Amino acid sequence: MRYLKLLEYALASLLRRPGKTSAILIVYTLMIVVLASVLFLTQSLKTEATTMLVSGPELVVQKTMAGRHELVPTADAVRLAEIPGVKDVQPRVWGYYYDALTESNYTLQGTGGSTEELTLLQGRLPEGEGECAIGAGVAQSRRVNLDDDLIMIDHDNIGRIFIVTGVFESASDMLTQDLVVMPDDSLRLFFGMDKGLATDLAVSVYNPKEIETIANKVKRILPDSRPITRHELLRTYHAVFDWRGGMMLALFSSALMAFCILAWDKATGISAGEKREIGILKAVGWDTGDVLLLKFWEGIVISLLAFLGGCVAAFFLVFLWGAPLLSIVLRGWSVLFPSLQPTPFVDLYQIATLAFLTIVPYVASTVIPTWRAAVTDPDEVMRA
């Protein structure tokens, strides 16, 4: 009951200064919305990326020359296949294509001879020369659909016509947005690539525990190669979307610091009226602990409201409306950018981290200056 009365008093005290209270509440809520949105979105993208790409190639072997990525002879695949523990070596043919019509970059990928029926593909994978399957982004930007023609300019500056045999469904946008898939030989012909060359080699192994050992052996057999393990591939995506890294940290820390400055300024600048209030409370019998408890409640009242409101808003903004503001920032210079419909990988750890990083500094910066006023003599405080 005592705490309920203190809460009532704290609410009355906050409502006596409606302008100041609402200004703090709005800024506080907006900060939580921004931070929570970034946290939710990056966590979702990271989890989606790492759970999907876990079925990618176990080891990719690139050839390097003069410090740059170079095409690898397919004959090297035979040498690598002889390493004990290697199940299969598949040459991968892929590259980039700048489409001057839409001013966007496409990724051209070879099928590797696969004709498997894909759940997320409307139609089928291309089998013959002059066929291709395209991502939803390419289909949208070029306004082509299933069984339409897609014209692209090859390495000889000659326009080539491809019949679209499949369009990837928008559920796979995060993986296929800019993809144009065609048989390896068609792609080699398009790029003017020699038949005995590939972009890189995908190595699969029998025992995943041996990947590192096999990577070392690959490096020994082909000294000018760069083996990239699946672990490294996944680690890259952890680094890209880690909230502690890069821009996320800059955004997070700058917003937090700005808010701390605001809270500190607001809290240290206790007005004469507030000081008098503290003095009167002490004069009528409140002890220092009660005054501190009151100010603590005032901080908690604002913090809880801003935190819960901000979290709910961020949830709706990111997972129901597809992070409209953040996707503009994330998009950068990309012409083809998938529409974000992230899967909500949110757990209590994230909510608790956010609560700790935002509520504690605010409550502390509210209570500490009050303590200074509360320990001084009531008469002195009222006269000041």
Choosing from 51, 145, 207, 271, the residue that interacts with another protein (CB under 8 A) is 51
Show contacts with another protein in window 53-112 (CB under 8 A).
53-57, 60, 62, 64, 67-69, 90, 92, 96, 104-107, 109, 111-112
Give the footprint of another protein on residues 350-369 (CB under 8 A).
351
Pull the structure tokens for residue 231.
């672990």
Which 223-262 residues touch another protein, going by CB under 8 A? Answer: 226-229, 231-233, 235-237, 239-242, 245-248, 250
Q: Are 176 and 67 in contact (CB under 8 A)?
A: no
Q: For the beta carbon of residue 122, count every other beta carbon within 10 angstroms.
A: 16
Q: In terms of CB distance, is 66 or 158 closer to another protein?
A: 66
Contact status: 38 vs another protein (CB under 8 A):
no
**DSSP run (H or E) holding 303:** helix 288-315
Which x/- pattern over 164-203 shows residues binding another protein (rule: CB under 8 A)? Answer: ----x--xxxxxxxxx-x------------------x-x-
Complex with another protein: residue 33 or 49, whichever CB lies closer: 49
> Shortest distance, CB of residue 117 to another protein, whole angstroms?
9
Does 329 participate in binding another protein (rule CB under 8 A)? yes
Task: Determine if 162 is a binding residue for another protein (CB under 8 A).
Answer: no
Distance (Å) of CA 14 to CA 23, 265, 299, 300, 370: 12, 17, 10, 12, 15
Binding to another protein by residue 319, rule CB under 8 A?
yes
**Shorter beta-carbon distance to another protein: residue 114 or 254:** 114
**Distance, CA of 32 to chain centre:** 17
Q: Cβ of residue 288: shortest distance to another protein, in angstroms?
A: 23
Residue 310 carries which side chain, given as an amino acid letter?
G
* Rounded Cα distance, 79 and 72, in Å: 12
Which of these, 171, 103, 91, lies nearest to 136 by C-alpha position? Answer: 171
Any residues with CB less than 8 A from the CB of 60 and at least 6 apart, and which? 92, 200, 201, 202, 203, 227, 228, 233
- Binding residue (CB under 8 A) for another protein from 128, 208, 324, 344: 344
Answer yes or no whether residue 114 interacts with another protein by CB under 8 A.
yes
